[in-house]
Amino acid sequence: MKREYDVLVVGGGPAGAFAAKTFAEKGYTVLLTEKRPAIGAPVRCAEGVGKTLMHEFLKPEDSWVAAEIEKANIIAPDGFTMELEPEKAGSEVGYVLNRKVFDRDLVWMAAGAGADVQVKTRAVSPIMEKGEVKGAILNQGGSTYEIRAGLTIAADGVESKFSRWCGVDTTVPFREIETCAQYLMTGIDIDPNATDFFVGNLIAPGGYVWIFPKGDKIANVGVGIGGDRSKPGNRPVDYLNRFVAKNFPNGKTIELIAGGVSVCQPLSCTVANNLMIVGDAARVSDPLTGGGIYAALYTGQLAGDVGSKALENGDTSSHALMPYDSTWRSSYLGKALERNYQIKEVFIKMNDEDLNAIIHSVSKMNLTDFNTLNLIKSIISANPKIAIKLGKAGLKSFIDSF
């Protein structure tokens, strides 16, 4: 058995798979190790992804796409529905995927490109020599062995421990974890081409309820709330059960999904000597929407590109890997994360009255005016109370971020 690779990838989610695929395509020897017995299962996702974002990387296969989404509805606490038609909804118009199939196909692509893959094989600690990562100790079926690698990629998802073992603090502040519960439901009356987002402090404090269709009468119905709002009797699963009892009393639940999404700032540095951190492990999921599939694909591929160059030059020091960190931060992704973090900080402080006011005023806005700065300006002039809530400093950072 091979014990030495150019690249070791810890974690077989979209970020790890894309990193492994990219390195393998460039001719490097790669081992991708996944602790679970099956790639992509259990699912920890509502499976929505924007079409344009997805097309940046992949041509979607029929087997991945459960539903195509044409519009999004945002439902205010008072029940008012704002419809976002394609032009307005922007990249929210997209696909609802079958992640079990999607994730597996991505790993297959990596394997097809030449990467070795192991499942039910957990990285239990890094190999550290003189403060540098030199691979990892893996546990496979109860026995442990060393895999040495020039470059190690931490793609170990929201529960990431690998980077922590290497000395990077990855703890998500508990008010900045969106704690989630979701049912895959069947036999429910829904629009199969529209996603619904319900906001309000009674149904999802510091978060939202989503309905993401996966076909006729089938959908992911879930709720995410701020970690600091979760209490006995008012946990995500309690909010979900109440929502479902009220809205889909006759629906049948065929899958229970739990999960956490980080809505904090990204890690302050996503490289170290011989180490790159990608996807959820780098805390690059969107703080406002909780979406992280695009970020996982983007950072996975970018790590592959930058890491390959570093390997080629024989220098995988944190300095040589730094272009990975600076590139994603200044990219579309980095900017969106920064902006949406600011918006999220405001959003979670809103009471239902604020939310109603905002959704009503946005729905009246003229389509041609629909750019973000205009949106913010109109919201603020329509709802001066919200401006007061933000405070001067908040307002400035808010507007600066666009």
Partner 1 sequence: MIKVHREICAYCGCCVSVCPDGALELVDAYLDIDMNACKDCGICVRVCPLGALEAKK
Residue 15 contacts residue 297 (beta carbons within 8 Å): yes
Nearer to ligand FAD, 51 or 360 (CB): 51
- Residue 170 near partner 1 by CB under 8 A: yes
Residue 9 contacts residue 31 (beta carbons within 8 Å): yes
- Residue 98 near ligand FAD by CB under 6 A: no
CB of 357 to partner 1, least distance (A): 30
Interface residue with ligand FAD among 8, 14, 190, 307 (CB under 6 A) is 14
Give residues 152-211 in contact with ligand FAD (rule: CB under 6 A).
155-159, 161-162, 180, 182
149 forms bridges with which residues in the sheet?
Answer: 5
Kindly write down the DSSP assignment for every residue of 52-79, as one continuous string: HHHHTT-PPPTTTEEEE--EEEEE-TTS
In 231-285 the beta strands, taken as DSSP E runs, fall at 252-262, 271-272, 275-277
Nearer to ligand FAD, 333 or 379 (CB): 333
Interface residue with ligand FAD among 26, 35, 229, 344 (CB under 6 A) is 35
- Residue 11 near ligand FAD by CB under 6 A: yes
> Do the bridges between strand 48-50 and strand 94-97 make them parallel or antiparallel, or are there none, so unpaired?
antiparallel
Nearer to partner 1, 177 or 380 (CB): 177
Q: Quick one: which segment of 37-45, 129-137, 355-363, 383-391 binds partner 1 (CB under 8 A)?
A: 37-45
Site pattern 293..332 for partner 1 (x: CB under 8 A): ----------------------------------------
- With CB under 5 to 8 Å by kind, the binding choice for 287 among partner 1, ligand FAD, none is none
CA 42, CA 207: separation in Å to the nearest integer?
23
- Residue 180 near partner 1 by CB under 8 A: yes
CA 367, CA 212: separation in Å to the nearest integer?
25
Determine how many CB atoms are found less than 10 A away from the CB of residue 231: 9
Q: Quick one: which segment of 27-35, 80-88, 126-134, 381-389 binds ligand FAD (CB under 6 A)?
A: 27-35
Give residues 94-133 in contact with partner 1 (rule: CB under 8 A).
120, 122
Interface residue with ligand FAD among 5, 48, 105, 272 (CB under 6 A) is 48
Give residues 186-245 in contact with partner 1 (rule: CB under 8 A).
227-228, 230-232, 235-237
Nearer to ligand FAD, 26 or 99 (CB): 99
Kindly write down the DSSP assignment for every residue of 166-217, as one continuous string: TT---PPPGGGEEEEEEEEEES----TTEEEEE--TTT-TTSEEEEEEEETT
- Residue 117 sits at the vertex; the CA angle it makes with 112 and 118, to the nearest 5 degrees, is 155
CB of 63 to ligand FAD, least distance (A): 18
Whole-number Cα distances in Å, 254 to 186, 222, 251, 289: 7, 13, 10, 25
- Residue 347 sits at the vertex; the CA angle it makes with 386 and 283, to the nearest 5 degrees, is 145
Q: Which tokens in the block code for residue 62?
A: 């029929």
- With CB under 5 to 8 Å by kind, the binding choice for 293 among partner 1, ligand FAD, none is ligand FAD
Whole-number Cα distances in Å, 235 to 179, 220, 255, 321, 349: 8, 18, 18, 41, 19
- With CB under 5 to 8 Å by kind, the binding choice for 213 among partner 1, ligand FAD, none is none
Nearest to 162 by CA among 122, 126, 132: 126
Q: Which tokens in the block code for residue 304?
A: 């592959």
* Interacting residues with partner 1 (CB under 8 A): 35-37, 42, 44, 120, 122, 157-161, 164, 170-174, 177, 179-181, 227-228, 230-232, 235-237, 256-260, 262
* Interacting residues with ligand FAD (CB under 6 A): 10-16, 33-36, 44-49, 122-123, 155-159, 161-162, 180, 182, 222, 257, 259-261, 279-281, 285, 290-293, 296
